[in-house]
Amino acid sequence: MKQFKCLFLCCLLLLMTASQTLASAGQTGLSAEVLLGNLAQAKKTERTINGVASTALGVGVGILVSSIKPDAELSEDDVREIKTLGYFGSGLLIGSGIISLALPSEAENHYRDVKTIEDPVARENAAYSSLVFCAEKVKRERLLNGAVSTAAAFYYLFSEPKSSYERNYNTYTGLIFAASAGASFLVKSVEEKMLEQYHQSRSFSAGEFLSNLRWGWSPDGGVAVIYCYQF
């Protein structure tokens, strides 16, 4: 019987050690530095995709415009005007794509600066400050875009049209701005979601894996073990 009690006590000790190890691993895996790194990687992937797509689209527009030639419907002046506008648009797309590929995002810059800090505690604090800064900045921009889209939606939906064509145009445009406003107000950015994930992980780590093991002698001379596990 005593051997069984000793074995049971050893199992409880192993369980407590394992739970504390899981708690430590959960805190490390969801640290502000790790989340900031994930955010930086996500923004890098996003700007790379946008940059490649914009550059490819600009090249495609340029090739398409260069193939336009005068015919029965288009005079040389018309073709010259179309090519001028087309090449200008193509240049804008290619330029924006190259800029997107060349310039790192704000999250990438923050993460690069954080990685240069040697002290782990200071690095974690700096990473958390960067997460808060990025999330609050994007949130302000998101709400501002929502407010502008809402004003535009009201303008187009409630303006007095002069023709049926203008009425249809105002209706469709207003609905597009209304949908954009709803998305801006309701859909949170990646930065905000990362910050929420950090706060949730802190609460989870503080409350999920709290354990305590107490043991002593019971009145009948046996070993009494109390293992508290909060979840």
* % the chain with pLDDT above 70: 75
The answer to whether residue 148 is domain-embedded is yes
The answer to whether residue 227 is domain-embedded is yes
- CA dist 177 to 151, 159, 167, 173, 226, Å? 9, 14, 15, 6, 61
Residue 40 has pLDDT above 80, yes or no: yes
The answer to whether residue 209 is domain-embedded is yes
For residue 209, what are the domain limits? 1-29+190-231
Among candidate residues 117, 107, 119, 133, the one with its CA nearest the CA of residue 41: 107
pLDDT tens-digit profile of 177-225? 999 999 999 999 999 999 998 988 877 555 544 444 455 444 455 555 5
Helix (H, G, I), strand (E, B) or coil at 229: strand
Claim to verify: residue 178 and residue 197 sit in the same structural domain = no
The answer to whether residue 183 is domain-embedded is yes
The answer to whether residue 63 is domain-embedded is no
What's the CA gap between 227 and 87, in Å, rounded? 74
The answer to whether residue 87 is domain-embedded is no
Among candidate residues 88, 103, 90, the one with its CA nearest the CA of residue 51: 103
pLDDT at residue 162, as a whole number? 81
Residue 11 has pLDDT above 50, yes or no: no
Report the number of distinct structural domains present in the chain: 2
The answer to whether residue 22 is domain-embedded is yes
Pair of tokens at residue 144 = 């501002």
pLDDT at residue 35, as a whole number? 92
Claim to verify: residue 231 and residue 195 sit in the same structural domain = yes
Claim to verify: residue 160 and residue 176 sit in the same structural domain = yes
pLDDT tens-digit profile of 79-132? 888 888 889 999 999 999 999 999 999 999 999 999 999 999 999 999 999 999
Among candidate residues 179, 191, 23, the one with its CA nearest the CA of residue 106: 191
The answer to whether residue 79 is domain-embedded is no
What's the CA gap between 146 and 177, in Å, rounded? 9
Q: What angle do CA 47, 49, 54 make, to 5 degrees?
A: 90
What's the CA gap between 16 and 9, in Å, rounded? 11
